[in-house]
Structure 1
C-alpha cells in the first residue's frame, strides 16, 4: 500500500486556502519535508550557501540569483529540493537484494524517492529481476562496448536539465563524436515551444527580460504561470514592485494563492503581524486554452482606444514608431482584430468584453510592461501561436527592448536553458559545427535528431536501441506511460545517471545500469581540487556553483566524470579529445565552451563568479531581430483557441497542474496546501455546476477517458479520481501531473515544437464501475 493510500481518509470537501503564499505556511511545508527526509544536521548551514557567490546554485527552478542577496536566498521549493537531496537515507545494494524490480513497480513515486540516495553503480540482472552491485570500471566498459556495437543513430542521449554547463557541453560533444544528434532534453516537455516559437518571431529562443527590468517596470501581465508553486522566489520582486505602485494583471484558469497575496518569510514584521502584499490587481479566470482569444481581445481594445485617440487628436496608444521600424505584419494583424467580433472572443474565453477592456485599459496606460508566461501557454497543440500572440500584444506598445519591459518566459528547471545554450540540441542548424570541426578534428553529423516524444515513438518501432539518460524520469514525465514503459524495456540498453530511485529504473532494457552521481551541494573533488560548475538562469545569466557537503557515498562520481568516462569507453582515441584532462580540471571545459561560443562566454573562467552572474546577452533585448525578415514578426492566428479540438457536449479540457509538494516528477508528499488538498493526489478538480449537470456529487469516484476521436488508442483512461469541487471555469478540469499523463497521446503536442499538450487534454468523465 502506498503512503498516498495510507494518508487519505476518503472524505472530500470543497478545498479552500485563504492564507497568502509564503509566510508560516511556507515554513511549515519546509518542516514537513525535513521531517520526512531527515537530512543531515548541517543542512541549515548548507541552505545559507544556496544561490550565493561561493556557494551552490539551487537544483530546483531556474529563477535568477540576485547580486544583492538576502541572508536566506532560497524559497520553499528550493529548500525542499536541497533537504530532499541531503537525506540521511541510503538506497544501497542491499536494498535491491530484498526487492525485485517487478515488486517495486507497485510502490508509489513517493515511496521510491523515500528509499534515499543511490550509493553505488548497479547492473540489472534479468534472471533474478533485480539490480546487482557492479564496479564503475565494469559498468563503463560494458556500456561503451554495447554502444559501440549499436548504430549511432539508434542511440539517444537525453538530458534532464540538472547537469551543469560543463557536463552538458561534454555530453553534447560525446553524442556528436559518436555520430548522432539525438540529444532530446527536458525542455521538449515544457518550454521547447518557447525555444522554437519565440525564436521565429523575435529571433531569440529565450526571454528578453533581465533583473533590472523587474525593478523598473510599472506593470506585469501574467498568462499561465504560477509563481507560488513553480518559482516562489519570483514573489519577492513582485511584492516589491507592488509596493512601489506597479500593477499586476493575471489571466489563469485557476485562482492560485501565489498570484493573490504574499507574506515574505524573510520579513520579521510581516511574519509577526500577518502582513501581506496583494499581488494581482485584476484576476481573470479564462477557460483553459483560450489565451489566443483573450490576447485578441486585449489587442482589439488597444486598437479601439488608438482609433479614439486619433479621432480626438490625443496621443496615440499604439507605439507607431516601434511598429514601423521594428516589426512586420501589423497591417494584416490589424485587419484580423477589426474582423474578429467581441461575441466570438467572449464565447471562447468565458470572459466578458468589459473584463477584457478593463485589462486593456491597464495595458494602454502603462509605460513599461513585462509579459510573463509559463507552461499554461506552451503545452498546447497551438502553443507557439499563444507565444506569437503574446509577442503581438507586447509589440503594440513597444514593450520589447526597453528598460522595464519585455518577454519573460519562466523556466522550470535549474539549467534547462543553459544546456541548450552549450549544445544539447537535436537540431544541427543551431550548433557551430565549423568550430567543433576545428577544435576536435572530426566531421559533425548533420542529420537532425529526435525530440523526446519522437525518440520514444522510434523506440516503440524498434528503431532506437539504446538510451542514456543524464538525470530525469522519462517513464513518468512523458505522456502515454504504458507505451513509454514498453519502449523503455524493449531497448537493448538503458543507462540512468541518477541521485535517487525513480520509476524509469523499474523498466530496464535488456542491459540496464544505474549510475549514481553527486548532488550539486556536494564536494566534487578532482585532481585540481574541488570543482566549480556553472548554470544559466531564466534571464540568461551564468552563475558559478560549488559544493561543500561530503558526498552521500564515497562511490559517487560527478555527472561530468560519468559522461567523460562513458565517452572514453565508447569512442576511438582522438588526440584533440582529452577526457582525462577535462575530468581533472573543469576550467579547461569552460575554455572549450568559450572557444565554441565566443560571443556568449567571453572570459568565461574570469567572469563566472560575478555576483548575480554574468549576462551572456540577447540581441532581441537590443532590438536586433535575428528573424527571417530582420524584424519582429507579427503574425495572425489561425484559430482563437490553442486546444486543437472543438468543444462538444460532454467533452472537457483537462489541464495538468503541480502541487506545492512536488518538483516535476519528484513527489515530496501529499499536501497541496495552496489548493487545500491533503493526503491524496487522486482527484479531479471540477466546477460545481459541471458536477451537478453530469449527475455526480462531491466525493464520487470517476474515470477520465481521452475523448479525441483520432487518438490512436481508446485505452487512455485514468480511474480512481475523486470528484472535487473547485473554482475553475465551466468546461475546464484540473488534475495532477504526472499522474494524468496517461491521458495524453505520445504525439499530441504543439505543432511546431512537439511539446506534449499537457494543458489541452480532451476528456469525458465516467463513473467508475466499482464505485
Structure 2
C-alpha cells in the first residue's frame, strides 16, 4: 500500500471529536467489507456480542449505543477486511521478499486462509493439509526435550484457549510459558502481590462514579484505551481533579469531545468547545516517576506532621495504617530524610508543583491511581509501582469505594490468560489441583520469561517455538540479535489470523496455522460457541462471534490447541480434548474446577451485564501477604538512580501512535502528534536540538549508549521538535526495539525498560531503518 507524503504539523483538536469520526471512516474505506463493519460495530462490547480484540478496558453493564472507540473500531475493520492472503499470494512472493515489506503492508495483505508449511527449496509457504501439519508437529515435539520448547501466548487468546494451551504445555512437560505481559505489566504482577497481596488492580468501573480525585501516571489514554475517556470525561464534568504525570503532553490526557454525543460534536464544530480533562499536567523526566511519587509522599507526611503538631486533624489515615499496614514508620523516616533537591533533580519537577499536587490529593476523600507502561517499563519499575501503592496507603485509598490502584492493561485478555495458568512461574499456578484433576505430575521448575526465552534462542538452548498469536520477534527487545538466531530453531509454529514479520523467520521446520477470529462464528459439534475474556478491572465477559469465518478452512484456536496436543501427547482418559472442542462450556467447567474461587458458576454468569468480577481480597482489605497486612516499601530507587549521564546521552522513550495497536500498524497517521506519512520520527526538546546542533527535519541515527560489547544502531530518523522534557527524546515502538539490550529490563520482573533507553544521536551515514523499506 503506497504511503502518503510526509507531513508534520501541530494537531490542535481534542481527542475524540471529528478527528476520530474521520479516522474511522477512513479505516472502513481502506479495509473494505463496509457492510459487515457497519452491521457488527454496534455489537462490539455488548451483551451477547463480541469483545473488542484491541484493548482490555472494562465493558459497562449499561453500554453506550456504540460501545467502541476509534482504535477498537480500527481493530475490527482490520480483522473484517475483504483481502485474503491465499496460497496463491505466497506462490507470488518468496519469504525473503516478504521480509523486505514493512509491518503495515504484511498485515494489509489480508486474512490467512489455509494452513501453510515453509518449503526451504523454493523459499515459499505452501499449502498443507491440517492432518499432515499436526502429525508433523507432533512428531517433531516428541523428539525434543520439553525443557527446550517455548510455548508463547499473546494477550488475545480467550480464557478457554489459554487454559487448554497451558495444560498442553504442562502435560508435555514444559513450564516455558512466556506471554506478552512479560513485556508490559509483569512489573505490576510482581509489585502488587508484595504490597497488597493481589496481582491485579482493585478498581471497578463503578468506582469512577464515586471518586473525587484521579492520578494518572505513564498511561496515554487517548491512544491506548480510548473508551476510558468516557468515565474520565464524566468525572471531569463533576469537577473531579485529574492530575497527570507524563513525560510527553498527550491530547487524550488534556481535552476530549465525545464523538457519540451530537451536542458535543456540534459544539466542537461551531465553537471549538471540548471537555478539559486534566487539572494539573506534570511533565516529568523519563524514569522520574519514583522520585515524583516520593515527593508527593513527602508533602503528605510533612503536612500530617505539621497538622498533628498544631493539634489539627491528621492528614494521614493513621487508624487505617495501624490496622491494615506494616512498615509505615520506616517508610515515613526515609521520606522525611529525602532532600527536596534530590527529588527535584531526579523527577524534573519542582517542589512547588509536587506540593500543589499533594495538596489536591490530601483534600480528596477517595482517590484512584491509574498507570501504564510509563511506570512498568523502567529498570526501577517494580519499586515505582510499590511507591504508588505507598501513596495510596497513606490515606487509606485501597479497599474503599471510589478509590484504588488501576494498572491499565493493553491486549484484550492479557490479564485473563495469566488468571488461567499462562505463566512461567510455577508458584502462580495450582499445580497440585491440576495434578489431581488430570492425573499427571506437572513440571515444577521455573520456565523462561520472554527475555529469558530470547536469550535461550540466541544461546542455542531453545529448540522450538510455538506461538499462540502475536508477533514475537518484532515485539521483543534486541530484535536483530534474536532474528539472527531464530532460523536455528528446529521447529517454529505460529497460530495467527494475518501475516506478520515473525512468520518470515522460519525454523528448520515451520508451520503457519490460520485461525478463526474472535469476531467470527465458531461452529462446533454442539453449535456456535462463545468464549470469554478478562478486562483490566478483573471482570469476566462472554464473547460471541457474529460473522462467518474468512475461509471455510480455518480452525478455531481451541481446536488447533487440541489437535496439537492429541498429535503430541500419549492418549489419556483424563483429558477429553474432542469433548472440549465440541462444547467450550465444558472447558469453562474445567476452569471452574481448577479455580473455584474465581470462576464460581462460570457458565451461568458468562454474559452477565458488565461482566462478573473476580473476588480480590484487597478490595475488602484482606491482604494475602506474608504478614497479613498491606506492606509499605522503604525504597532505594531515588538515591541509587543518581548516576552521572555521559555527555550527549538522551533517555529514549518508545511510543505508540494512535494508528497502531502493539505491533499492528494500521497506518502512518499519528493524528495527536501531527505526524503523517512516516514512523521514522525522533521527537526532541528544542533545547537539546540547539545543544547538539540538530535542525528540524535532519536525518540522524540512534545508538544505544549501554556498553555490553554489542553495537546497536538504527538510522533514518527525522528530527522533530516536540514537548519532550530536556534530556529525553522519543520514537516509535516497535521500530526502536533493536536498540534495547535484553539485559536492560526492570529489576525483579524482567520487563524491557523501553521507556528509558540511553542513546547517542549522530549524523554519521545512517544505516537503513530496521524492518522498513
The bucket for the TM-score relative to the shorter chain is over 0.9
Matches within 5 A, 1:481-492: 481-492=479-490
How far the C-alpha of 1:770 sits from its partner, in A, is: 5.8
Question: Following the alignment from structure 2 to structure 1, what is the Cα–Cα distance between the partners of residues 554 and 642?
Answer: 46
Compute the TM-score of the two structures, normalised by the length of structure 2.
0.97
Number of aligned residues = 763
Residues 199-241 of structure 1 deviation map (CA, whole Å, 9 limit, x = unaligned):
1111110001011211100000000001000000000000001
Which of 722, 726, 742 pairs up with 1:746? 742
Question: Following the alignment from structure 2 to structure 1, what is the Cα–Cα distance between the partners of residues 189 and 309?
Answer: 41
Matches within 5 A, 1:81-480: 81-274=75-268, 275-480=273-478
How far the C-alpha of 1:42 sits from its partner, in A, is: 2.0
Q: Is the 8 A contact 1:645 1:762 kept in 2?
A: no
Which of 5, 18, 28 pairs up with 1:8? 5
Q: Is the 8 A contact 2:668 2:678 kept in 1?
A: yes
The 3-state SS of whatever aligns with 1:204 is coil
Q: Which one is further off, 40-49 or 534-543?
A: 40-49
Question: Following the alignment from structure 2 to structure 1, what is the Cα–Cα distance between the partners of residues 293 and 747?
Answer: 20
The 3-state SS of whatever aligns with 2:510 is strand
2:765 aligned with 1:769: yes
Question: Following the alignment from structure 2 to structure 1, what is the Cα–Cα distance between the partners of residues 374 and 194?
Answer: 20
Q: Is the 8 A contact 2:28 2:37 kept in 1?
A: no
How far the C-alpha of 1:487 sits from its partner, in A, is: 2.9
Question: Following the alignment from structure 2 to structure 1, what is the Cα–Cα distance between the partners of residues 289 and 391?
Answer: 12
The 3-state SS of whatever aligns with 1:442 is coil
The 3-state SS of whatever aligns with 1:158 is strand
The 3-state SS of whatever aligns with 1:250 is strand
Aligned to 1:634: 632
Q: Is the 8 A contact 1:235 1:262 kept in 2?
A: yes
How far the C-alpha of 1:417 sits from its partner, in A, is: 0.4
1:479–1:278 distance in 2 versus 1, CA, 3 Å:
same
Aligned to 1:57: 51
Question: Following the alignment from structure 1 to structure 2, what is the Cα–Cα distance between the partners of residues 100 and 644?
Answer: 51
Question: Following the alignment from structure 1 to structure 2, what is the Cα–Cα distance between the partners of residues 428 and 223?
Answer: 31
Compute the TM-score of the two structures, normalised by the length of structure 1.
0.98
How far the C-alpha of 1:643 sits from its partner, in A, is: 6.9
How far the C-alpha of 1:374 sits from its partner, in A, is: 0.2
Question: Following the alignment from structure 2 to structure 1, what is the Cα–Cα distance between the partners of residues 572 and 219?
Answer: 46
How far the C-alpha of 1:39 sits from its partner, in A, is: 2.7
Aligned to 2:770: none
Which of 59, 63, 78 pairs up with 1:69? 63
The 3-state SS of whatever aligns with 2:369 is strand
The 3-state SS of whatever aligns with 2:194 is helix
Q: Is the 8 A contact 1:381 1:642 kept in 2?
A: no
The 3-state SS of whatever aligns with 1:705 is strand
Residues 595-619 of structure 1 deviation map (CA, whole Å, 9 limit, x = unaligned):
0000000010111110110111111
Which of 521, 540, 546 pairs up with 1:548? 546
Question: Following the alignment from structure 2 to structure 1, what is the Cα–Cα distance between the partners of residues 261 and 552?
Answer: 40
How far the C-alpha of 1:627 sits from its partner, in A, is: 1.2
Aligned to 2:717: 721
The 3-state SS of whatever aligns with 1:604 is coil
Which of 552, 558, 563 pairs up with 1:565? 563
How far the C-alpha of 1:490 sits from its partner, in A, is: 1.3
How far the C-alpha of 1:40 sits from its partner, in A, is: 4.5
Question: Following the alignment from structure 1 to structure 2, what is the Cα–Cα distance between the partners of residues 160 and 381?
Answer: 23
How far the C-alpha of 1:151 sits from its partner, in A, is: 0.5
Matches within 5 A, 1:598-747: 598-640=596-638, 646-709=644-707, 711-713=708-710, 715-747=711-743
Question: Following the alignment from structure 1 to structure 2, what is the Cα–Cα distance between the partners of residues 583 and 40?
Answer: 32
1:423–1:645 distance in 2 versus 1, CA, 3 Å:
farther
Question: Following the alignment from structure 1 to structure 2, what is the Cα–Cα distance between the partners of residues 473 and 345?
Answer: 39
Q: Is the 8 A contact 2:346 2:642 kept in 1?
A: no
Question: Following the alignment from structure 1 to structure 2, what is the Cα–Cα distance between the partners of residues 475 and 648?
Answer: 31
Question: Following the alignment from structure 1 to structure 2, what is the Cα–Cα distance between the partners of residues 321 and 29?
Answer: 51
Aligned to 2:497: 499
How far the C-alpha of 1:332 sits from its partner, in A, is: 1.2
Which of 582, 585, 588 pairs up with 2:583? 585
Q: Is the 8 A contact 2:716 2:766 kept in 1?
A: no
Structure 1 unaligned spans of 5+: none
The 3-state SS of whatever aligns with 2:13 is coil
Q: Is the 8 A contact 1:594 1:604 kept in 2?
A: yes
Question: Following the alignment from structure 1 to structure 2, what is the Cα–Cα distance between the partners of residues 336 and 225?
Answer: 28
Question: Following the alignment from structure 1 to structure 2, what is the Cα–Cα distance between the partners of residues 166 and 379?
Answer: 29
Question: Following the alignment from structure 2 to structure 1, what is the Cα–Cα distance between the partners of residues 639 and 449?
Answer: 25
Question: Following the alignment from structure 1 to structure 2, what is the Cα–Cα distance between the partners of residues 311 and 445?
Answer: 58
Residues 628-650 of structure 1 deviation map (CA, whole Å, 9 limit, x = unaligned):
22111111221218979642321
Which of 8, 24, 27 pairs up with 1:30? 24
Question: Following the alignment from structure 1 to structure 2, what is the Cα–Cα distance between the partners of residues 738 and 621?
Answer: 36
Q: Is the 8 A contact 2:495 2:515 kept in 1?
A: yes
Residues 354-395 of structure 1 deviation map (CA, whole Å, 9 limit, x = unaligned):
111110100010010000100000001111011011001111
Aligned to 1:517: 515
1:641–1:182 distance in 2 versus 1, CA, 3 Å:
farther
How far the C-alpha of 1:112 sits from its partner, in A, is: 0.4
Aligned to 1:42: 36
Question: Following the alignment from structure 2 to structure 1, what is the Cα–Cα distance between the partners of residues 458 and 523?
Answer: 40
Q: Is the 8 A contact 1:89 1:117 kept in 2?
A: yes
Q: Is the 8 A contact 2:28 2:34 kept in 1?
A: no
Question: Following the alignment from structure 1 to structure 2, what is the Cα–Cα distance between the partners of residues 8 and 359?
Answer: 43
Q: Is the 8 A contact 2:36 2:80 kept in 1?
A: no
2:589 aligned with 1:595: no
How far the C-alpha of 1:133 sits from its partner, in A, is: 0.4
Structure 2 unaligned spans of 5+: 768-773
The 3-state SS of whatever aligns with 1:600 is coil
Residues 643-684 of structure 1 deviation map (CA, whole Å, 9 limit, x = unaligned):
796423211100100000000000000000000011110010
Question: Following the alignment from structure 1 to structure 2, what is the Cα–Cα distance between the partners of residues 311 and 645?
Answer: 37
Q: Which one is further off, 440-449 or 636-645?
A: 636-645
Q: Is the 8 A contact 1:652 1:731 kept in 2?
A: yes
Q: Is the 8 A contact 2:44 2:68 kept in 1?
A: yes
Q: Is the 8 A contact 1:124 1:512 kept in 2?
A: yes
